[in-house]
Every structure is written in C-alpha cells, then in structure tokens.
A and B are shown apart, each in its own frame.
Chain A
Amino acid sequence: MTSIRPSQVKRRSQLARRHIELGAEFEHCSNLIVVKDYGSQTEVDQAKKLGLADLSTLPRIGFKGTGAPDWAAYHGVTLPQQPNTSAVQKDDSLVAKLSHQELLILSDLGVTSTQIERLEDSPIAAQTYALPRADSHCWLAVTGNQAAEMFSKICAVDLRAHKFANGEVAQTSVARANSIVIRHDLGSTPCFYVLTDASATEFLWDCLLDAMAEYTGAPVGVSALRTLS
C-alpha cells in the first residue's frame, strides 16, 4: 500500500474521491499525481476490452488565434493537416487541430514530453492566445475493442473503427455534455480521449461507467495504458 494521496498536491482531479473509493493506487508522475492502477492483476486485459481512465491531472494546453498555427510550427510543432485531425509529435505528445486557428496539445502518458512546457515558456506571437485546457476540461480515456460500441449509446457521431480513423477528432456532445473526442490508439488497442467541461467530470465518469456496464467495462489506471502503448 503506498501512501500517495491526491490531496498531497494542490492540483486534484474532480474524480479523486471516486478513485479512492475504487481502491486506486496513485503514483507521482513528474510533479503530479495520477491513478497507477486499481489493484487488479488483469487491468491490461480490461483495457484491451473496455477500460476507462482519468488523465485529468496530466499536462495539456491550447493555443488559438490566426497566428497560432504558424507560431506553433515555428516552435517545432508538427501541425495536423486538416481541422479535426491530430498528429503525434516526436516527443509522443499529441497535437489536435480543432479549427484552422486552434490547437490542443496533450502530454504523453509518461509525461516525458517537453513540448507543452517549451511552448508555455516561448514568447507568444501576435494573434496567438493560450487556452487553459488543463483546467477547463477533464481528460478521460476510453479504451478497448468495445469502446466504439459503448460510445454509440451516448454519442451521435459514428466512432466505429472503419468510420473514425485513428487520429480523427470529433467535437460533439457526449451524454449531452460538449466534448472533444480524439481517437488515439494505444498500440493495437482502440483508445478515445474525451475532453469535457471540467465541472461535468463526475457526471461524465458516472455516465460512462453506466454505459460500459453492459460490456463489463471498468476503470483502469495509467499503467495499463502505458503497457498497451
């Protein structure tokens, strides 16, 4: 039993209490705290089938404005071609293009990527504006072969593998909450990142677990996700 508790740092997921109730083991990752696992030996298998993970404490940021894409490219960001697609970066972080003028940048699962920090520290250009995506949105991951089928109960966009390719982005409504859905497979396991208004995190978590019950989906920690990727 580790003694790491979410309350040891200032930055806490809205779901910290849910994780504790589920018997989560937490880990320090960089200077933040994330759920390592829920004590199950079969979490990797669970994640392959249908898993739900909370990545809300991991770094992410947004940039918006007519100058944002060029500025980001200048600072080494590989830009996705089209709006509503994403591109994996050299340091394993992920950049999603939400419109011609808006980027969303997500850390890798091990928080080894440096891009977010580098951009935060770079002098910002004209017509470029940072967005506090790390706080405005929660960040959940739904993994597994049954993920798309489960999503069809709460999301009107067809997320099946042959209709929603790896790297695609959908800005839509998930369980009536405005969300950004990004398909970002972990190895051969389908994975969808869901970013939703942070204040609705617990609502969304409960909805997802309810929708997953039919397929015996369950929460998984970040360590299972890392294994898959």
Chain B
Amino acid sequence: MKLLTCPLNGPRNIAEFTYGGEYHPMPDPNITDTRAWAEHVFFHDNAAGVVTEWWCHTASSFWFLAERNTISDEVIRTFEASELFNQRIDFVATNSKEGKL
C-alpha cells in the first residue's frame, strides 16, 4: 500500500484518502466557447509525467494537492490548496460574451 503525506495529518496509507481528480483551472464558464468547456468537463489530460491532483484525507475531510509522476507513481510533493488558491473567486454574469461553436 502506497503512502501519501497529508499536509495536515502526515504520512498515511493511501486507503485513507479520496482521489479528487486532476487539477486544472476552470475556464471562465461565461466566455469560454463550447468546445473548450466540453474539454474542461469531459476530457482529462491523463498525461505521462508530473501531474497535479486533488486528494482528500477522508477522516479529517482535508483537501490538498499532490504533484505525482504518473510514470513512476512517485509523489513529488503535497501541499495545501491555499498555495494555489489564495484569494476569493467571484463570478460575474457576462452572458453576451458566451462563445459559440
């Protein structure tokens, strides 16, 4: 069983975690064209190499991110979500700009 180091709880068996999918920034839903939005929702990069992933320590419900090499399955580092998200995100309605396919 693999170990994963939770930034809050330290190294734990990976069975204690829930996988949250690849991290990739959400395009602005109000201005992105349909194709790009569909790519965001339905397609995953599934890259061979270092990817950033969401993980949640289930027992403490603590979400964090991990950089993992998908070829060697080596976890390079884990870090708190605040490292990537350090300010409040707001949405503004801009329906008119919505892209067309």
A173 and B57 CA atoms in complex are apart in Å by 10
Q: Which of B1-53 contact A (CB under 8 A)?
A: 8-10, 12-13, 15-16
Chain A interface residues toward B at CB < 8 A: 83-84, 98-99, 156-157, 170-173, 178-180
B58 surroundings in chain A (CB, below 8 A)? 173, 178
- Chain A CB within 8 A of B62 CB: yes
- Chain A CB within 8 A of B92 CB: no
Q: Who on chain A is nearest to B57 by CB?
A: A171
B16 and A99 form a contact (CB under 8 A)? no
A83 and B59 form a contact (CB under 8 A)? no
- Looking at A83, A98, A171, A179, the one whose CB has the most chain B CB atoms below 10 A away is A171
- Chain A CB within 8 A of B60 CB: yes
A138 and B60 CA atoms in complex are apart in Å by 16
Chain B interface residues toward A at CB < 8 A: 8-10, 12-13, 15-16, 57-60, 62
B8 and A156 form a contact (CB under 8 A)? no
Given contacts A170-B9, A173-B15, A173-B58, 16 further A-B contacts (CB under 8 A): A83-B8, A84-B9, A84-B10, A98-B60, A99-B62, A156-B16, A171-B57, A171-B59, A171-B60, A172-B9, A172-B12, A172-B59, A173-B59, A178-B58, A178-B59, A179-B59
Q: Is the interface of A mostly helix, strand, loop or mixed?
A: strand
A178 and B62 CA atoms in complex are apart in Å by 13
**Smallest CB separation, A185 vs chain B (Å):** 21
Which among A83, A84, A172, A180 is the interface contact of B16 at CB below 8 angstroms?
A: A172
Using A83-B8, A84-B8, A170-B9 as known contacts, say yes or no to A99 and B59 having CB atoms under 8 A apart. no
B59 surroundings in chain A (CB, below 8 A)? 171-173, 178-180
**Smallest CB separation, B18 vs chain A (Å):** 11
A178 and B16 CA atoms in complex are apart in Å by 9
A157 surroundings in chain B (CB, below 8 A)? 12
A84 surroundings in chain B (CB, below 8 A)? 8-10
Interchain residue pairs with CB less than 8 A apart (22): A83-B8, A84-B8, A99-B8, A99-B60, A99-B62, A156-B12, A156-B13, A156-B15, A156-B16, A171-B9, A171-B57, A171-B60, A172-B9, A172-B16, A172-B59, A173-B16, A173-B58, A173-B59, A178-B58, A178-B59, A179-B59, A180-B59
- Looking at B13, B15, B16, B59, the one whose CB has the most chain A CB atoms below 10 A away is B59
Q: Who on chain A is nearest to B1 by CB?
A: A156
